[in-house]
Amino acid sequence: MKYKIDVLSALKSNGFTTYKLRKDKLLSESTVQKLRRFDPVAWENIETLCDLLNCQPGDLLEFVKDSPDTELNASVEQAE
């Protein structure tokens, strides 16, 4: 999965600064950091983001199939 948009920029455009997100306990500091790095977040947080941005998960995320190399490396690591 990868983000279609810069979620933090979209939130800021809707009046939700990172300070406000943390202060109002809408998202944790670790979740904000994950969004900065475009790392995946928990589905609970996706639900919160969709609520804040008035959108659907598909507006934020898209499925990207892992490359065969990635799948092979994961298989090798599991075997070890």
Tell whether the model's pLDDT for residue 63 goes beyond 70.
yes
Can you name the residues that pair with 61 across neighbouring β-strands?
Answer: 3
State whether residue 30 is helix, strand or coil.
helix
Cα-based angle 6, 37, 79 (whole degrees, multiple of 5): 125
CATH topology of domain 2-79: 434 Repressor (Amino-terminal Domain) (1.10.260)
Distance CA 59, CA 71 (A): 26
What is the structure's pLDDT at 65? 87
Tell whether the model's pLDDT for residue 77 goes beyond 60.
no
| C-alpha neighbours within 13 Å on the C-beta side of residue 34 | 13
Q: Taking the domains of the chain in order of start, what are their residue ranges?
A: 2-79
